[in-house]
Chain A
Amino acid sequence: AQSVTQLDSHVSVSEGTPVLLRCNYSSSYSPSLFWYVQHPNKGLQLLLKYTSAATLVKGINGFEAEFKKSETSFHLTKPSAHMSDAAEYFCVVSDAVRREGFQKLVFGTGTRLLVSP
C-alpha cells in the first residue's frame, strides 16, 4: 500500500531564506510523486511532479524537489522564500501504472508554510 508522510505540520521561515518541506513515501511499485500547493480558500495547484525521469524536478515559482529512492524521500525546496509562498503544501504519491483503473493519488496531511517579513 502506498503512503506519504509529511514530517512537519508547520514550517516557519523569514522572507528571503531557504524553504525545506520534507516528505517521505512508501510505495510497492515505481511511484509518481507530486507536490501540490493550496492557497487559502483556493483549490490545489500542481507545483511539480516526478515520473521516473530526472530525479531533480523543477516546478513553478522557483520550487524544486529531488527524488531519492535510497531514502524514499521527495523533499520540496526553494532557495529564497517570498511572502506569496505562504500556503499549505501537499506531498502526493501515485502508482506509475494504473492498477485499479485510475491513477490513485494518496495525499499527505499537509505542511503549512508561514513566511514572515
Chain B
Amino acid sequence: NAGVTQTPKFRILKIGQSMTLQCAQDMNHNYMYWYRQDPGMGLKLIYYSVGAGITDKGEVPNGYNVSRSTTEDFPLRLELAAPSQTSVYFCASSYSFGQETATIGYTFGSGTRLTVV
C-alpha cells in the first residue's frame, strides 16, 4: 500500500536545465495535484488533473507543464529551471465523485526538494 510516491526526493538543477518530477499513486484516485511549498508559506496549487487526459492550471502554473496519460501517473515538467522555482514540491491525490465533495481528503507524497542554482 504505497499511497503517493514521488521521485526524486532531492535534486539540484542549474539555471536553464530541465527535469521531470515523477508522481505515482496506487489508490485509483481520479484527482491528482501538484503543489509547491515555499518557506513560511502554505502550499500553492500548480496544476491539477481530474482524470486521465484532463489537466488544468492552478494558482502558479507558469514555468511548468504536466500530463496525465494514465490514472496512476502525473509527472510535472520544468522546461527552463529558474531560481524562483527553488521549492519543495508535493504531489497529492484524492477521490471525488458527484457534485458533493468526497470527505476523504487528500493523500500527499513525501515531497521533492528542488534547488535551482
B-binding residues in A (CB < 8 A): 4, 9, 32, 34, 36, 41-46, 49, 51, 90, 92, 94-98, 101-110
| A43-B90 contact, Cβ under 8 Å, with A102-B48, A102-B50, A104-B45 | yes
| Closest A-B pairs by Cβ, 7 of them | A107-B42, A43-B108, A43-B110, A44-B108, A103-B101, A51-B103, A107-B43
Verify A43–B111 contact, CB threshold 8 A. yes
- Provided the pairs A103-B96, A105-B106 are in contact, do residues A98 and B42 lie with their beta carbons within 8 angstroms? no
Within 8 Å by CB of A32, from B90, B92, B101, B109, lies B101
CA of A42 to CA of B101 in the docked complex: distance in angstroms?
26
Residue-wise interface mask of B (64-101) relative to A, using a CB-CB cutoff of 8 A (1 in contact, 0 not): 00000000000000000000000000101010100111
Q: Which residues of chain A are within 8 angstroms of B45 by Cβ–Cβ distance?
A: 104-105
A12 vs chain B, min Cβ distance (A): 17
Whether B53 sits at the interface, judged by CB under 8 Å, is: no
Size bin of chain B's contact surface: 20 to 34
Count: A-B pairs, CB below 8 Å: 69
Q: Are B101 and A97 in contact (CB under 8 A)?
A: yes
CB distance from B42 to the nearest CB of A (A): 3
- The answer to whether B90 touches A44, judged by C-beta atoms less than 8 angstroms apart, is yes
CA distance A49 to B40 in the complex (A): 23
Q: With CB as the reference atom, state the residue of chain B lying closest to A103.
A: B101
- The CA-CA distance from A63 to B101 in the complex, in Å, is 24
Residues of A within 8 A of B99 (CB): 97-98
Is residue B31 within 8 Å, beta carbon to beta carbon, of the partner chain? Answer: yes
Q: Closest approach, in angstroms, between the C-beta of A2 and any C-beta of chain B?
A: 12
Is the pair B101, A95 in contact by a Cβ cutoff of 8 Å? yes
Determine the chain A residues whose CB is within 8 A of the CB of B42 once the complex forms.
Answer: 4, 90, 92, 106-110
Chain B residues contacting A42 (CB-CB under 8 Å) are 110-111
Report A55 CB to chain B, min CB distance, Å: 15
Neighbouring B residues of A90 by C-beta, 8 Å: 42-43
